[in-house]
Amino acid sequence: MKLYLVRHAKSKRNAGIPSKVDAELTEDGLEQARRLGSYFHDVKLKKVYCSTMLRAITTLDAIKPYIENIPITFTKNIVEHDMGIYAEKGRDDWKSYAEDAKKLGKEFVDFKPKGGDSLKETYQRARKFYKYLLKNHMGKTILVVGHGLFLLQLILNILSLDSSEGRLYQLSNASVSTFNIGRNGKIKNFHVNDYNHLIREGIKIKKESEN
C-alpha cells in the first residue's frame, strides 16, 4: 500500500485568529491548498478519505481537479483531536491544557479534558483507522486528508511508536507524508512532513510572472 497523508492547509486557528472549532482556511491557507493540488497530478490514487471538518474539506477541494473520478469518503473517524473545554473562546489553549494535566499528576498524553479526548484516545482511534486501511486497501494507493494531531498519531501507529513520541514532532500545514507498506504490513520506506511542493509552486509562479 502506498499511503499519502495530507495535513489541511493553514486555518484561522493555526494563524492565531479567533474562530470556531471547525475553522475556515485563511487566505494563505487557500493559496497553500492551491499549490498542494498539483502534487497529485500524476499520483494514481484508488481511494480518498477526508475528515468531515471544513478545513480538511476545503483543502481537498483544491486537490479534486487533479484526482477526478476517484471515490471519496468523508468520515468523522479521522477528525482532529478534541481538546474539549480548552478549545473554547475561539482558540486552542495548550498552555492551560498542559498546566492542568500537570496539576492533576497526569501524563500529557493521558490527560482527558472535560468534553474532549486524551491524546492516547486519539492515538487509539488512529490505530483503529490504520488497521481498517490495512484490511481494506493493501496493495492500493490511498490519500488521507486530515489534521495535524490525528495524522501524527496515525504516523506513530504506522511506525509502531508510542503516543508520547508526538511531543517531539509536528506536521506543517499542507504537508504530505508518504509511506510504502508491504503486504506483510512492514514499512518499506517513508517520508514525513514534505512541503517542497509549496516552494516549487512558488518558484514556478515567480518565473511565470517574469516572462
Where in the chain are the domains? Answer: 2-210
Give the sign of the dihedral formed by CA 174, CA 175, CA 181, CA 185.
Answer: negative
- Tell me the CB-side half-sphere exposure of residue 201, using CA atoms within 13 A: 14
Q: Is the model's pLDDT at 211 over the cut of 80? A: no
The residues near 160 (Cβ < 8 Å, ≥ 6 apart) are: none
pLDDT tier for residue 184 given thresholds of 50, 70 and 90 = confident
Query: Domain 2-210 has what CATH class?
Result: alpha beta
Cβ atoms < 10 Å from Cβ of 203: 9
The residues near 31 (Cβ < 8 Å, ≥ 6 apart) are: 9
The CA-to-CA distance between both ends of the chain, in Å, stands at 41
pLDDT tier for residue 183 given thresholds of 50, 70 and 90 = confident
| Sheet architecture: strand order including 187-194 | 72-75, 47-51, 141-146, 2-7, 176-181, 187-194
Express each pLDDT in 2-34 by its tens digit: 999 999 999 999 999 999 999 999 999 999 999
At which residue does the C-alpha cell 478534541 appear?
Answer: 82
Express each pLDDT in 38-89 by its tens digit: 999 999 999 999 999 999 999 999 999 999 899 999 999 999 999 999 999 9
The pTM score is: 0.96
What is residue 132's predicted lDDT score, i.e. its pLDDT?
A: 98
How far apart are the C-alpha atoms of 155 and 188, rounded to whole Å?
14
pLDDT tier for residue 35 given thresholds of 50, 70 and 90 = very high
